[in-house]
Amino acid sequence: MSKEETVKDLKDLKGAVAGTDVVADAKTDASAEDAPAKREPKIDKLGRSYGTGRRKDAVARVWIKQGSGKVTVNGRDQSIYFARKTQQLILNQPFLVVNAVGHYDVICTVKGGGLSGQAGAVRHGISRALEGFDPALRPPLKAAGMLTRDARIVERKKVGKHKARRTKQWAKR
C-alpha cells in the first residue's frame, strides 16, 4: 500500500476514526462556550461586596454596600486620612467611571506603603468590589483600566551604587 491509498482509506472511514469524533465534539463545545457566561453578584449576608486592592507595597481590603457615599479608611473619613485632593480624586475614580457617585458606602482597611500607594490600592479594591456587587459594571471599569493591578514597584538598590541607578560622583580632574 502506498501513502496515497492509506489517505484514501481514512477518508472512506469518515467518522469511524476516533480522532475525528473528538474534534467534532470539541467544535460543538467551543461554540457553546462562545456565549459569555452570566456572572453572579458576590454579596454577603450583610449586603456588602468585598474587593482586595494592591499598589506598590500597599494592600487594601474594601467592602462596599449601597448607601449615601460615605467613605471610611482605617476608621477615619477619607478627607482626613487622604488630605491631598489628588489622592481623594484617585480614590473616587471608579465611582466617576460608572456614574455612581454617592450611591455606595465604602469601608476599607489599608496597610503598607505610603499614602499615594494606599490611595491606588483603595481604588483598585473599590473597582473589584463594584464588579462583585454588580457584574454589569465590569466593562466600563475594565475599559478605564481600574481592574488591572499596577505592577510597577520600587527598583532595588544595586551594590556599588548610592540608589538603584545613582552612581558615585566622578571627577575627570
13-72 pLDDT, tens per residue? Answer: 555 544 545 444 545 555 555 556 788 888 889 999 999 999 999 999 999 999 999 999
CA distances to 37, 78, 79, 82, 89 from 85, in Å: 39, 10, 8, 8, 6
Q: Are 159 and 89 in contact (CB under 8 A)?
A: no
The architecture in CATH of the region 49-143 reads 2-Layer Sandwich (3.30)
State in Å, rounded, how far the first CA of the chain is from the last one: 86
pLDDT, tens only, 142-156: 999 999 999 999 999
User: In which region does residue 160 sit, left (phi positive, over 0), alpha (psi from -120 to 50) or beta (all else)?
Assistant: left
Q: Which three cell numbers stand for residue 64?
A: 462596599
Q: What confidence score (pLDDT) does residue 173 get?
A: 84
Enumerate the domain spans of the chain. Answer: 49-143
Mean pLDDT value across the chain: 86
